[in-house]
Amino acid sequence: MIEIKDIIEKYPREKRYTLAMLQDVQKQFNYIPRQALMMISEYVDTPLSSLYSMATFYKALSLKPKGKYIIKVCDGTACHIRSSMVLIDEIYNILKIRIGETTEDGMFSLETVNCLGSCAIAPVMVVNDKYYGKVTPAMVREIIKEYGGEKNE
Ligand code: FES
């Protein structure tokens, strides 16, 4: 198992590598543990508050552990007018999580994105890297089942 220290020390002790370090930590642990922020802060001699700002500014970075499966529902214009919000409601009905939340068992996180570049098959939903197009609420239930998640019924 790669340690935080190993990730950080791949980089020179320079501030300009801060984001790359954070991205690497995110990739390895699926979130950025507080300990990593403290170690990076010391390593590149940057205040912890700057690292917090960075970690909260970039959507790809998370200070909270994310689920094993990240569900992204597109809420770009094409998907929005084809009722993407109904999909989000259905996800809440099934998993009891809202946008930005993770299920208690750590299996699923829910996010929205602006456009996945697949407007022709709107509304679009992605689980990790797998795309689903023309998604209906009934399909949402089936898709979540594929990943072993069905809290209701
Ligand atoms: S708006 Fe959803 S894929 Fe483009």
> How far, in Å, from the CA of 37 to the mean position of ligand 1?
34
2-33 residue pLDDT tens: 799 999 999 999 999 999 999 999 988 888 99
Residue 60 confidence class, pLDDT cut points 50, 70, 90 = confident
- pTM, full prediction: 0.74
119 marked ligand binding residue: yes
Pocket test for ligand 1, best of 124, 125, 131, 134 (most atoms within 8 A of CB): 124
> How far, in Å, from the CA of 139 to the mean position of ligand 1?
18
CA neighbor of 4 nearest in space, from 36, 32, 26 = 36
Q: Which long-range contacts (CB under 8 A, 24 or more apart) does 139-144 make?
A: 140/87, 140/90, 140/91, 140/94, 141/90, 141/94, 144/71, 144/91, 144/94, 144/95, 144/108
> How far, in Å, from the CA of 79 to the mean position of ligand 1?
5
65-112 residue pLDDT tens: 889 999 999 999 999 999 999 999 999 999 999 998 999 999 999 999
19 marked ligand binding residue: no
pLDDT, residue 1, reads 64
pLDDT, residue 153, reads 47
pLDDT, residue 55, reads 92
